[in-house]
Structure 1
Amino acid sequence: MSSPGQRAYILTRHWRDTRNGVDLELWLATEEGPRCVLVTGQTAVAFARESQVAEVEAAIRNDGAFELKPLPLKTLGQEPVVGLYGQSYRAMLRLEKRLSERAVHLHEADIRPTDRFLMERFITASVTIEAGESDDHAVIVNPRIKASEAYRPTLRVVSLDIETSAMGELYSVALEGCGQRQVYMLGAPPEGPAADLDFALTYCADRPAMILALNAWFREHDPDAIIGWNLVQFDLRLLQACADQHGLVLALGRSGKPIDWRAHGRREGYVFASIPGRLAIDGIEALRSAMWSFPSFSLESVAQTLLGEGKDVDDPYHRMDEIERRFREDKPALARYNLVDCELVTRIFAKTGLLDFVLERANATGLPADQSGGSIAAFSHHYLPRMHREGYIAPNIGSSHGESYPGGFVMESRPGIYDSVLVLDYKSLYPSIIRTFLVDPIGLAEGVLEADESKTVPGPNGTRFSRTKHCLPGIITQLWASRDKAKREGNQALSQAFKLLMNAFVGVLGASGGRFFDPRLASAVTLRGHEVMRTTRKLVEEEGYEAIYGDTDSIFIWLGRAHDEREAMAVAEHLVGRINQWWKESLAATYGVDNFLEIEFDTHYKRFFMPTIRGSELGSKKRYAGLVEEEDGSEELVFRGLETVRSDWTPLAQRFQRELYGRIFRREPYAEFVKDYVRQLQSGAFDDLLVYRKRLRGKLASYDRTTPPQVRAARQADEHNARLGRPLQYQNGGWISYVMTLGGPEPVEARLGSIDHEHYLTNQLEPIADAILAPLGDSLAALTNQQSELF
């Protein structure tokens, strides 16, 4: 039996149709170990418009598996609906498809039974389970399940990585975690004395033996989560293909269950892998979801950036050759190389707190912990149960249409080099606007009907929102309070998860493929944001300062002269107090609403540079640099949108920009540095810094009208690969590294020509130098001109 009030965390969720209805299977992590909860006899649910009931009745006539029931619900368009209940979810989907072919649309039929069960109970990830029948202390049948205060399990985690041949044939599988360091290697052990290893190395006669050994490892050591690098799209897919090829089951799930594969609806070739009882967390996707950014998300690059170390074979162009050599000649060395990948992934997860983040994200969103993205699904998880209680049902995905809506406010910038620039920004501006002005799908539906305008809050473009009936402002308020609580408790991962979720909700209202797409709603937020920022600029100017730039929720204020940190903070405090008080008084008087807009201090730049648009005198947008003084008195250079933080500029340009800007910001001499840098470039001293790394966004064959440098280089690289009998690397896109030679772009792995140093001087160094030297009346050409000026 389950102990009363047992705390648990939902790892995975699954459903299946049975003779007696839909059964739900939830795998939980508890303090007593993994548990499986089985909820039986559930009903598939959808809704139909009353005006189309006759067509639905005709479609289900003589089918006892479906039942229509009257309900006090309606669409956002005010059409009454009836409930449609079925014993089989798959049958419901088939019915939905048949009816849609006759222009009869069921609502919410796409909500999976597990998702509906959890959302209607306001459950995200942490739960309490009570009572229920247990057959073997692991499976609990029909317990009471309710949302609980966030329970954080201590998970057993394994890092998995594979090595393959150039043709994608499995060579080895490494596992690190659960107290184990294990490698399974294809082939016979080498002759002679066994190598002295600090990990277990098991040789397998063939690939079926490797799959069976892997299945056995998971049964014995029973991890809660599998982590890796490109884990699902490469490692697990290749293991699955290997198992399929040999007629075996890749049984990595608990109770020996296979992986449940599902194709992504909109990303060609992308798949989801649901492993019963175990999370499958890819490091690349998790880092991106947590807003980490790297020039390259290769394991080598991320490990070097975060850990200061990488793998022992660091040349990506000969890595496959080295793997092949080790497989032939030194299998223990290949095993160690394989295991190092696992260990690097484990350390990256630990360094970044990724596991904490994905667990907290699930508690915030209600989505599976190993599912990245999904802001539309997260919105639905929070919104649907609340809108049902307000008497409404949700639109279908893609059913709404409309024109585009304005984006965030971007102020015209004033280019130049400045002393003392303050940046103030609004705390979660768009969620604050939703809370303040009651922007909401139901609020809009009700506001349109309300004859008494005093009972509504006016919005842009003639919209009106009900003051009393709405859901989204309350959801934002709840999430906001949860985030504040997480921040007070020092739970950075949970705070970040709540912040990302709240900020994503506005995008959901403006997502044309989403369930709640409505340009009126998105515009009610973004246009109000424009008004907020214009008003903020006006208030700043009334205080005698100049706003030189603004972007969405941030305003950049020039203080007119150099200020030390104490002086700058005093100005910031005054402006913050003035602006926040103005909003409180103005919104109460004008709209009769509580103000949730809050501007706060962000940064003081001791020196700040706003460039022009290249080839123009107009100020740029979303591109700037500055010098910040830290609390300990040290200084830090900050770049936004400039070459230093863009992966398509060479290391030569990035290093040059950091050094040059630092000298100018600190008022240090720069002329000799520029001259020496150019001399070293032309002498070949910087040849290892000249590599471009760019992405091919389409298939190589699709570039038929234009041939940019990266495409030319990729074609040469694959011609080189073909000559060596290697697999072609770039036919379906990917990242290519190349240099510019006197003969044009050439891939690094097959360069034949001499470096075109003049290209790098003209196209890399000169644009960077001239951007910041022009306000100083200088240029790279003037500094490097060998002929003395006569006049």
Structure 2
Amino acid sequence: MRWPIRGRGYRGRQRRETRALASSEKSPGTVTETPLCLPRSGGIADVPAGFLLQPTYRVRDGVPVVQLYGRLEDGRPFLIEDDRFRPYLFIRAADADLLRGDPRAATAESDLRDLAGQALVRVVAPVPAAVPALRDRVARAGRPTYEGDVRFPYRFLIDAGLRAGIAIEGEGTARGGLVHFANPVLAPAEVHPALRIVSIDLETEPSASEIWSIALVGDGVDEVHLVGSGPVAGAIAHADERTLLAAAARRIREIDPDVITGWNVVDFDLRVFAQRCAALRVPLELGRVAGEMLFQQELGFTREARAVVPGRVVLDGLALVRDALRLDDYRLGAVAQELLSRGKRIASVADPAAEIARMYREDPAALVAYNREDARLVLDILEREGLVSLAVERSLLSGMPLDRVGASIASFDRLYLPELRKRGFAAPSVDPERKAELVQGGAVLDSVPGMFTDVAVFDFKSLYPSLIRTFQLDPLAHALARDASFAQRAQVSRSEPKASEDHRVGERRPEDLIVAPGGARFAREGAILPGVIERFMASRSAAKARGDRHADQAIKIMMNALFGVLGAASCRFFDPAIANAITGFGQEILHRTRDAFEAAGVPVIYGDTDSVFVRLGEGRGNPSAEAKRLRDHVQQEIAEHVRGAYRVVSHLELELEGIYERFFMPRVRSGRFGSKKRYAGWRGGQLEVVGLESVRRDWPAVARRLQRGLLERAPVRARGGRRGAPRRARVRQARAQRIARSVHGRSAAARAGRA
């Protein structure tokens, strides 16, 4: 199966960035005089372009060689090798003596500074493995290092200004099924390749101690390899397991997929494949060049397992679905039934493992059909939801490989470090000993319990990115504000101060600073993230206009991840003052929004982070027209407050998310007050439930159905209706909650007894 990819329009902008990167710092001993990423005069329209799949490196005769695997737009796989680049890190110039005499370190002058304004020197290492040792030696002396933890191939791409789409200027040589480029000139490019993908599925003995069959389904292939003594319809039979494993590995190399996928393919199919090959001493090479398959585990919160195959990418269908969709059950059969309206071929049997064993012994043709369908289901799910296309768009946007687009901190580095370099700064290395600190959340307003009609929901579009853009909330801007000389370095023009209108600050604010509600200060100019977000928003608007939902979603994910990255202790730019400034401004804006609505004569019955729920009430004519009028009025009020209090232009956009014809806000259990993050509403005749038991997966299905049924039947007093209806609805809802809790308690006790 080929997956079409549409490239993004980065070429012109990134070509300019490339030239800036090439000239931003000139230090000897790092890169040869030949630029890595500078197109020849006259442009690069006539040179090959491709999509980058896997950046890695090898050390050959003591020399590190960057290796970039990918697929050209004309369909040929390629391998770029560059042996000119050297690994490096930065240390303070005052600490240069710490590495003097170390044969692994070649120190060179640098024009860069750290975020505190200290001059830096570049330390060049002979091989990537030497960088951690040099970094640790400096750390043991109690001194900081800078960018000493950036992975070597990513360092190459960052310095060259490259993401996933690249133009390759240089002579290519066909060898071993790949087009090889040695030390070419590279540049950013739009790409339009079609990736080749294959789904693999194994059927095994119940303990996975023997593989019985392997299905391969995808681009130009639809086959099942089976251990059997005679021919079987729809299968390629092999005399024993050793022959099966060797044949399947050979077929994968012949098919030459860019992407290998499956359901739980890393932790089951590929891992069992590798274990059985090792047990039977069958060489396992699935890559585009010689090399074994490696298994890794991400160090982040998810601890997600990865399989690394030379020249290819492994995308686990289960992980892609978990990341994108909220479902009750993530087993392949359940997901397929939910999304495709068809499930596994033996979905109804009580013991699938026993049935698979029976089919292998008694009906191998049925096993072959079952195996093939499981592999096909994965492809159909990914295609229906566009999950591979979404991963591609995220890769084009961030520059991360397809199997690491979910690594938000590394993605942030890929975007931020080049911009920081162009401004003359290097970033600190991550402090592995740094502990997480408290970051406050968004504001949650007290709710008003009851049944209501015509409740309008307003929310701020991309609130946290919009706050970053409006108030210059950025690591560099924060660092510049701390430095007495920041105005000169950031070229900030000063003017006469005026009294602050923000009662929370309570002091006169210098005109060249923006002071957040919590006291954190930010320079008015020099910030990086506002410009990045502005470009993202423009790209997202263009994606929406052309109907490109995958690009739209990729940009949304990237923007929404910015706050989480800045609030993570494992991020090199972590500073609770910055993260709390974002949420602090968010809290202030939410309270101001509530006040503006209520000043306009409409009550706010609930609010959470970026949303407010407003009761339009009776006698106001057309609810939709009234809601739009209120939105325009309140947005104007917020813009005037931001401009008056902080002297900045507001980029906050208040949207009318919708209007509930009926809306129910329950009380807290055994209390008089309204609950939070729990409500139900009817919109367009459809019931929407948030946070209540009927949508909680940890409650039994019977309790969820009961509550939902009562909610669907709950009456409400319409205009001129009976006044007793709201009370009866509340009584029914309270009774439903008591019954649901009782059922949940009995189910939990039963589960505990079985355990």
> Normalising by structure 1, what TM-score?
0.80
**Matched residue of 1:544: which SS?**
coil
2:489 counterpart residue number? none
Distance, in Å, in 1 between the alignment partners of 2:341 and 2:564 is 36
The amino acid of 2:550's aligned partner reads A
**Alignment partner of 1:553 out of 579, 599, 610:** 610
- Report 1:8-19 matches (<5 A): 8-19=50-61
Distance, in Å, in 1 between the alignment partners of 2:676 and 2:343 is 36
**Alignment partner of 1:124 out of 138, 163, 186:** 163
2:703·2:744 contact (CA, 8 Å) conserved in 1? no
The amino acid of 1:638's aligned partner reads E
The amino acid of 2:224's aligned partner reads V
Distance, in Å, in 1 between the alignment partners of 2:564 and 2:692 is 26
Q: Are residue 36 (structure 1) and residue 74 (structure 2) matched?
A: no
- Report 1:664-683 matches (<5 A): 664=714
Q: Are residue 227 (structure 1) and residue 261 (structure 2) matched?
A: yes
1:773 counterpart residue number? none
The amino acid of 1:364's aligned partner reads L
CA displacement, residues 542-575 of structure 1 (integer Å, 9 cap, x when unaligned): 11111111111011111123888xx121122112
**Matched residue of 2:518: which SS?**
helix
1:663 counterpart residue number? 713
1:648 counterpart residue number? 698
**Matched residue of 1:116: which SS?**
helix
2:65 counterpart residue number? 23
For residue 267 of structure 1, report the CA deviation from its aligned partner. Answer: 6.5
Bigger RCO of structures 1 and 2 (CA < 8 A, at least 6 apart):
2
**Matched residue of 1:134: which SS?**
strand
CA displacement, residues 678-704 of structure 1 (integer Å, 9 cap, x when unaligned): 9xxx9xxxxxxx99999xxxxxxxxxx
- Report 1:135-214 matches (<5 A): 136=175, 138-149=179-190, 151-169=191-209, 170-189=211-230, 197=233, 199=234, 201-214=235-248
Distance, in Å, in 1 between the alignment partners of 2:662 and 2:110 is 64
**Alignment partner of 1:626 out of 674, 681, 688:** 681
Cα pair distance change 1:539/1:444, threshold 3 Å: same
CA displacement, residues 322-349 of structure 1 (integer Å, 9 cap, x when unaligned): 1121122222211211111111111111
The amino acid of 1:649's aligned partner reads W
Distance, in Å, in 1 between the alignment partners of 2:220 and 2:172 is 33
- Report 1:346-425 matches (<5 A): 346-398=379-431, 403-425=437-459
**Matched residue of 1:461: which SS?**
coil
1:459 counterpart residue number? 516
CA displacement, residues 352-394 of structure 1 (integer Å, 9 cap, x when unaligned): 1111111001112221112252111111110111112222221
Distance, in Å, in 1 between the alignment partners of 2:61 and 2:574 is 38
CA displacement, residues 287-333 of structure 1 (integer Å, 9 cap, x when unaligned): 2333x110111111111111111012225751111112112222221
The amino acid of 1:73's aligned partner reads L
What RMSD in Å do the two structures reach over aligned CA positions?
Answer: 2.9
Q: Are residue 86 (structure 1) and residue 125 (structure 2) matched?
A: yes
Distance, in Å, in 2 between the alignment partners of 1:544 and 1:596 is 25
**Matched residue of 2:649: which SS?**
coil
The amino acid of 1:68's aligned partner reads T
**Matched residue of 2:657: which SS?**
strand
1:651·1:691 contact (CA, 8 Å) conserved in 2? no
The amino acid of 2:675's aligned partner reads S
For residue 132 of structure 1, report the CA deviation from its aligned partner. Answer: 3.7
Q: Are residue 7 (structure 1) and residue 49 (structure 2) matched?
A: yes
Distance, in Å, in 2 between the alignment partners of 1:373 and 1:269 is 12
Range 528-537 or range 155-164, more displaced: 155-164
**Matched residue of 1:155: which SS?**
strand
CA displacement, residues 234-281 of structure 1 (integer Å, 9 cap, x when unaligned): 211111111222233321111354323333335797532122232211
Cα pair distance change 1:147/1:268, threshold 3 Å: closer
2:319 counterpart residue number? 285
Q: Are residue 506 (structure 1) and residue 570 (structure 2) matched?
A: no
For residue 134 of structure 1, report the CA deviation from its aligned partner. Answer: 2.8
**Matched residue of 1:8: which SS?**
strand
- Report 1:754-765 matches (<5 A): none
Distance, in Å, in 1 between the alignment partners of 2:255 and 2:632 is 58
**Alignment partner of 1:535 out of 577, 588, 592:** 592
For residue 471 of structure 1, report the CA deviation from its aligned partner. Answer: 1.0
Q: Are residue 486 (structure 1) and residue 543 (structure 2) matched?
A: yes
2:20 counterpart residue number? none
For residue 416 of structure 1, report the CA deviation from its aligned partner. Answer: 1.1
Cα pair distance change 1:133/1:313, threshold 3 Å: closer
1:579 counterpart residue number? 634
2:84·2:183 contact (CA, 8 Å) conserved in 1? no
1:430 counterpart residue number? 464
1:66 counterpart residue number? 105
CA displacement, residues 557-597 of structure 1 (integer Å, 9 cap, x when unaligned): 11123888xx1211221122112222333323332212101
Distance, in Å, in 1 between the alignment partners of 2:274 and 2:745 is 36
Cα pair distance change 1:532/1:9, threshold 3 Å: same
For residue 51 of structure 1, report the CA deviation from its aligned partner. Answer: 3.5
The 4+ residue runs of structure 1 with deviation greater than 6 A are 666-672, 690-694
Distance, in Å, in 1 between the alignment partners of 2:239 and 2:404 is 36
CA displacement, residues 586-627 of structure 1 (integer Å, 9 cap, x when unaligned): 323332212101101101101011112223222211111111
Cα pair distance change 1:489/1:619, threshold 3 Å: same
2:506 counterpart residue number? none
CA displacement, residues 129-148 of structure 1 (integer Å, 9 cap, x when unaligned): 22245354711112221112
1:636 counterpart residue number? 686
Distance, in Å, in 2 between the alignment partners of 1:518 and 1:693 is 46
1:45 counterpart residue number? 88
**Matched residue of 2:338: which SS?**
helix
The amino acid of 2:197's aligned partner reads V
Distance, in Å, in 2 between the alignment partners of 1:268 and 1:382 is 22
**Alignment partner of 2:360 out of 318, 323, 327:** 327
**Alignment partner of 2:289 out of 239, 255, 264:** 255
The gaps in structure 1 that reach 5 residues or longer are 630-634, 683-689, 695-706, 716-791
1:3·1:131 contact (CA, 8 Å) conserved in 2? no
For residue 116 of structure 1, report the CA deviation from its aligned partner. Answer: 1.2
Distance, in Å, in 2 between the alignment partners of 1:667 and 1:540 is 24
Q: Are residue 76 (structure 1) and residue 140 (structure 2) matched?
A: no
Cα pair distance change 1:596/1:49, threshold 3 Å: same
2:657 counterpart residue number? 602
1:18·1:88 contact (CA, 8 Å) conserved in 2? no
2:451·2:664 contact (CA, 8 Å) conserved in 1? yes
The amino acid of 1:311's aligned partner reads K
1:562·1:606 contact (CA, 8 Å) conserved in 2? no
Distance, in Å, in 2 between the alignment partners of 1:76 and 1:125 is 29
1:446 counterpart residue number? 480
State the identity as a percent.
34
For residue 518 of structure 1, report the CA deviation from its aligned partner. Answer: 0.6
Q: Are residue 336 (structure 1) and residue 369 (structure 2) matched?
A: yes
For residue 91 of structure 1, report the CA deviation from its aligned partner. Answer: 1.9
For residue 165 of structure 1, report the CA deviation from its aligned partner. Answer: 1.9
Range 40-49 or range 88-97, more displaced: 88-97
1:172·1:335 contact (CA, 8 Å) conserved in 2? yes
1:516 counterpart residue number? 573
**Matched residue of 1:184: which SS?**
strand
1:69·1:82 contact (CA, 8 Å) conserved in 2? yes
CA displacement, residues 147-173 of structure 1 (integer Å, 9 cap, x when unaligned): 123x23212211111122221222221
CA displacement, residues 102-145 of structure 1 (integer Å, 9 cap, x when unaligned): 44443222211211121223322112222245354711112221
